[in-house]
Amino acid sequence: MVRKPIHADAGANGTEANKERKGLWSPEEDERLFTQITYHGVSTWSSVAQLAGLRRSGKSCRLRWMNYLRPDLKKEPISKREEETIISLQQSLGNRWSTIAARMPGRTDNEIKNYWNSRIRKRLNAARDSTAKPAPAPAVGGEEGSANAAPPPADQHVPIPARFPVFGCQLLDLDGAGGGMSSAGSGSGESPQSSTTTSTQQNTGDESEASVGGNSSGGGGGDDINMIHFLSFDDLDYYPGDLLMDVPGAMDAWESELYSANSMMSSLC
């Protein structure tokens, strides 16, 4: 649900004109921030606030951009597959929401955290309470995500160990021209955040690459126009989220193949 905006300055009087604003963002503030970042990028967040003429902390600006204004964010509700991904990643990583978010292009850590706290955790707790079986319920709070956790049953999805490379995917170019990305970059132009964002996405694993899905014939590469190409982020010099957002079906493919790709990686390691 979207709450009716009661903006931070709604009740402020003139004497507090210089005070830092808090609370919900007004459309005007959003526009200022968006314009500032789109056209000038980010040096420091406090300077962004200043240059945009916002009486907001840099911290608040960063949060607003990351969680709401970024052009590569998915707007639609979290899908069933994404939910499964969240559960799986939470099992393997614990409450490292930013890391989980980094593996779910278009989703924010806040969004995932909220989703987990408000829905999944509740549901899993209810399920655990209703069944005597202790089984695969993910740890909640505390020491979850420990590398020492007992391995899941064979019929469970294998969680992705943190040390594995993070996967992005690309649809191979339809006409094979240059092996380029079928669509890179977000619709609203280059993301001024791409450099910093990408750095946090990097995963220090061995480089890995695998073709998955479609009717991959392997080898040769490039023949199969429907093939989804999975890459470790180490292979990418752009923000994978930008790519995935613009490729119809790519997200679903990515999610559905996440586990099989992981299994494959397991066998390689």
Partner DNA sequence: AAGACACGCAACCGCAAACAA
Partner DNA sequence: ATTGTTTGCGGTTGCGTGTCT
| # residues near DNA by CB under 7 A | 43
CA nearest neighbour of 23 among 5, 48, 49: 5
Residue type, 189: G
Strand partners for 210: 230
Q: Return the residue of 9, 12, 51, 58 that touches DNA, per CB under 7 A.
A: 58
* Shortest distance, position 139 Cβ to DNA, whole Å: 11
Angle at 154 between CA 109 and CA 97, to 5 degrees: 5
Q: What strands, in cross-sheet order, belong to the sheet with 228-232? A: 167-171, 228-232, 209-212
DSSP-derived letter for residue 113 is H
Instruction: Give the list of residues 6+ apart from residue 179 with CB closer than 8 angstroms, or none.
Output: 172, 173, 222
Confirm or reject binding of residue 67 to DNA (CB under 7 A): yes
* Helices and strands: H and E segment counts in the chain: 10, 3
Q: Return the residue of 90, 92, 99, 198 that touches DNA, per CB under 7 A.
A: 99
* Shortest distance, position 49 Cβ to DNA, whole Å: 9
* Shortest distance, position 92 Cβ to DNA, whole Å: 13
* Shortest distance, position 200 Cβ to DNA, whole Å: 5
Confirm or reject binding of residue 24 to DNA (CB under 7 A): yes
Residue whose CB is less far from DNA, 142 or 220:
142
Helix (H) or strand (E) holding 111: helix 109-115
Span 118-177, contacts to DNA by CB under 7 A: 118-119, 122, 141
Q: Which residue has the tokens 């094979």?
A: 176
- Taking the C-alpha atoms of residue 37 and residue 22, their distance in angstroms, rounded to an integer, is 20
Confirm or reject binding of residue 3 to DNA (CB under 7 A): yes
Q: Which residue has the tokens 């990515």?
A: 254
* Shortest distance, position 16 Cβ to DNA, whole Å: 14
Q: Return the residue of 28, 35, 40, 117 that touches DNA, per CB under 7 A.
A: 117
Span 201-260, contacts to DNA by CB under 7 A: none
Candidates 89-97, 165-173, 204-212, 252-260 — which segment interacts with DNA by CB under 7 A?
89-97
CA nearest neighbour of 85 among 249, 261, 265: 261
- The SS3 of residue 263 is helix
Residue type, 95: N
Confirm or reject binding of residue 97 to DNA (CB under 7 A): yes
* Shortest distance, position 97 Cβ to DNA, whole Å: 4
Residue whose CB is less far from DNA, 30 or 224:
30
* Shortest distance, position 234 Cβ to DNA, whole Å: 17
Q: Return the residue of 37, 55, 89, 115 that touches DNA, per CB under 7 A.
A: 115
Q: Are strands 228-232 and 209-212 parallel, antiparallel or unpaired?
A: antiparallel
- The SS3 of residue 146 is coil
Confirm or reject binding of residue 113 to DNA (CB under 7 A): yes
| Binding footprint of DNA on the chain (CB under 7 A) | 1-4, 6, 8, 21-25, 42-46, 58-60, 62-64, 67-68, 77, 95-99, 109-111, 113-115, 117-119, 122, 141, 196, 200
